[in-house]
Structure 1
Amino acid sequence: MAEWSQLPKELLNLISQRLESSLYLLRFRSVCSSWRSSTSSTPNLHNHHHYFPSNFPIFSNDPTSPNQTHNSTFSLSKRTLFLITPPQQNQQQLLQPWIIKVGYDPSGNSQLWHPLSRFAIKSSNRPSPSTFPGLLDIYHLPVIELGEEFVLNIGGPPSCSSLYMEKVVFSWTGSNTQGFVLLTIHVSGKLALFRSGDEGWSIIPDMPTPYDDVCVFKGRLFAVDGTGRTVRVGLDLSVEIVAEPVFGGDKKFLVECEGELLLVDKYLSSGYVCGLDMLAEDGDEIFELGCERAMKFGLYRLEEEERRWVELESLNGRVLFLGDDCAFCVPATDLRVAKGDCVVFRDDTFNLNVLECGIGVFNLGDDGISLLSRQPDYFNLFWPPPDWVTLH
């Protein structure tokens, strides 16, 4: 067998085409000069095209006329989620990794986001320059790419900017370097599709119940409505039912998890929380804010041939993360947490304590929900960065 540095260029090129991340391709090309010369600096065009779309028309509230003229357009940005692990592991004290989301702000500057939030980490919440490096070089740290999210940014009239906080998914189509499709949920609750080459968005009329979530699974577009009815969306605007409804919870999510498509059913309870320092004008009352609080979660796996969801009693030691614009699944062993079978999720009722970052942890074993700060293993995965990052 030839040494790794003497492998045929044809074989190296085939290997590089299977790398589904620009980060992994960069590391592959950094091994030696022969590996670098055998591959292109552009990842496999089927998965990572060098062309990236920029501006898209804005649609209005009216699903029958979705492409009214506006003074501004959507711009598409991508953010990548990374699990950054310590460069060296102390056998007597295993250091925990760190989850972060990296992308760019509207000005094109690199920016850090909390992994489960659509809001950037403010400079006031960052460690001082003396303890946090000005340059976080993830190319020289052990890194696992957990996933990516796409966000439609909008400028112009304030009346438009509040309408598009829904999740959006992006997928390349075929081998054409400019072929792509976007899928999101219109303010009407219907699905909105944009294909490369289209002049405007297409609103798909099918909607027995408003849709809750969209995702890309094995290169195909999926959506789920409030009943759990799940459909596969075609580029020709067709909608094919792949799973019948799952009644029970109040909010449905789709998550790709190690080659499987999962449905997360979130049960909510309406209530009130007291606002901090929010006294009424007469000083006698404290305002109470209406909110919906997560009570428990149901988990299901798609059996596509049988067109049904099968309930799960565990995640087989994995941890599922539910964010504003993304959802991903990670083995507990990669996170170096004591146990998995948990759902880590965003819940605004936990925002009263800034350290919680609006995050709760649901344990599948006992159906219990706790604050993030009461789960040290999970708390240490998030912001602020661990000591080994700031000292690196």
Structure 2
Amino acid sequence: MDDGERVEWSELPKELLPTIGKNLDTRIDIVRFRSVCNTWRSSIPLFHTYSPRFPLIFPSPYPAPIPIRTPAYLCQSTVYRLQRLNPSSTSSNKSWLIKVEQDSNSGGKFRLFDPISNRRTRYPNKTLNLFDFRVVELTKAYTLRYQVRVGLSTSTNEIEQVLSVSDISIFGVNKVVMFPNSPWTNVNASAAFVIFNDGKLGFAKSGDEELILVDRNSFDYDDIIVYKGQFYVINSLGIVSWIDHSSLKLVQFLPPLCGLGSQKHLVESCGALYVVDRYLDRERRRVENDAFYMGGEDCAESIGFKVYRFDEEWGRWELKESLGDRAFVLGNGCCFSVMAKELSGYKRNCIYFTDQYETRVFSLEDNSVGYLSYFEDSYPSWPLPNLL
């Protein structure tokens, strides 16, 4: 083939298409692949033929004194980066982040959330045309909910019956992770870990009736992550352990982190594992009851953060004074890293988080905590007119 000769993607040999298609791991990439032409569309099945269909019935971490609140459901949301393909002269060419969840209670419609605060939001127009945007999947987040009927529906209409059911997040569940979860993985091969009651670690597979408590001798786990295809968990002392999900044994993977903060978060950034150590203005209160604990919110506020990166070559934690051009997001349900200059409202070398339902930002440049209003033009999301 001459150097100047070009071959259309649609003219690739048919026998290569299934191999290419089944190496795609995200919903949006599979949709794009199947949109090329009829040949490509028929070369691989729809992703939901194999992949888990959310929400999934999942064992609750708590006893259920109220039968109507069982079973629990494992729900999935996805954080996307959106960028206009043809921005107008008055609009920015930068991207926005949005968290999307398919709502089973409204006939499969999508619900939109702010990726930091998890506050429900909506697109300014009635529809979001993906042909107008470049869409990149960043990460997935999971949550556990009960489905509660909010009223008595005597209608025989299925839609009206579905709309009479409301989702309620299970109080005390701090983090849920699931793996593997790709379009080509059967749901029965997936496993999920849950951190609840501010420190207990539970495990279940799809179809299990009860949550298994992992490591009954320790109830102080802060965060869990899937890193390079494996589960890793960190406790309040800064010990990171690898979890063998077949035996449910924890193996200390890294040397203990000598951080003195009150709460620790695991973040993957550019292929490296980081720990974000959060400092609070008072001792953190641990919830010792169940999902129906009504003791109010923990009033401790974040006053600072320290960031550590694991140096694989030397086998030690390295204190990072700067995140460079990146920013970390400690969201409800997932933590992730972004390139700040690509996103509207985000600043480099900063950590975005929530305290008392408020969105805040910590700058590693001067160790300051700032407050962000959801209605400010500089808010790091896409509420109101940003995408119009």
- What range describes the TM-score normalised by the shorter chain of this pair? 0.7 to 0.9
Contact 2:175–2:195 (Cα < 8 Å) also in 1: yes
Q: Pick from 238, 242, 258: which aligns with 2:253?
A: 242
CA separation of 1:168 and 1:246: change in aligned 2, threshold 3 A: same
Displacement after TM superposition at 1:81 (Å): 1.1
CA separation of 1:17 and 1:215: change in aligned 2, threshold 3 A: same
Q: Pick from 328, 332, 336: which aligns with 2:336?
A: 328
Give a deviation string over 1:12-71, Cα, whole Å, max 9, x none: 3333222221111111221233332333332796xxx2555721222337xxxxx99955
Give a deviation string over 1:291-312, Cα, whole Å, max 9, x none: 2221111111224576542222
Gaps of 5+ in 1: 62-66, 272-288, 352-357
Give a deviation string over 1:246-276, Cα, whole Å, max 9, x none: 32211101112222221111111149xxxxx
- Indicate whether 1:15 and 2:23 are aligned: no
- TM-score after normalising by structure 2: 0.77
Deviates more, 1:133-142 or 1:335-344: 335-344
Partner of 1:281: none
Partner of 2:225: 215
Question: Secondary structure of 1:233's match?
Answer: strand
Partner of 1:227: 237
CA separation of 1:372 and 1:134: change in aligned 2, threshold 3 A: same
CA separation of 1:105 and 1:35: change in aligned 2, threshold 3 A: closer
Partner of 1:81: 79
| Whole-Å separation in 1 of the counterparts to 2:263 and 2:376 | 28
Contact 1:100–1:114 (Cα < 8 Å) also in 2: yes
Give a deviation string over 1:336-361, Cα, whole Å, max 9, x none: 5685111111122xx5xxxxxx1111
- Indicate whether 1:138 and 2:146 are aligned: no
CA separation of 1:139 and 1:220: change in aligned 2, threshold 3 A: farther
Partner of 2:46: 41
Question: Secondary structure of 1:262's match?
Answer: strand
Displacement after TM superposition at 1:290 (Å): 7.3
CA separation of 1:32 and 1:327: change in aligned 2, threshold 3 A: same
Displacement after TM superposition at 1:163 (Å): 3.8
Displacement after TM superposition at 1:101 (Å): 1.1
- Indicate whether 1:202 and 2:200 are aligned: no
| Whole-Å separation in 2 of the counterparts to 1:24 and 1:8 | 20
Q: Pick from 269, 274, 299: which aligns with 1:262?
A: 274
Displacement after TM superposition at 1:170 (Å): 0.8
Contact 1:80–1:102 (Cα < 8 Å) also in 2: yes
CA separation of 1:37 and 1:111: change in aligned 2, threshold 3 A: same
| Whole-Å separation in 2 of the counterparts to 1:307 and 1:366 | 29
- Indicate whether 1:169 and 2:177 are aligned: yes
| Whole-Å separation in 2 of the counterparts to 1:208 and 1:23 | 40
Displacement after TM superposition at 1:105 (Å): 3.9
Q: Pick from 327, 349, 352: which aligns with 1:341?
A: 349
- Indicate whether 1:300 and 2:308 are aligned: yes
Contact 1:13–1:39 (Cα < 8 Å) also in 2: yes
Displacement after TM superposition at 1:313 (Å): 2.0
- TM-score after normalising by structure 1: 0.77
Question: Secondary structure of 2:15's match?
Answer: helix
Give a deviation string over 1:351-372, Cα, whole Å, max 9, x none: 5xxxxxx111111122122122
CA separation of 1:220 and 1:120: change in aligned 2, threshold 3 A: same
Provide the aligned length of Structure 1 versus Structure 2: 345
CA separation of 1:117 and 1:4: change in aligned 2, threshold 3 A: same
Partner of 2:117: 117
CA separation of 1:91 and 1:164: change in aligned 2, threshold 3 A: same
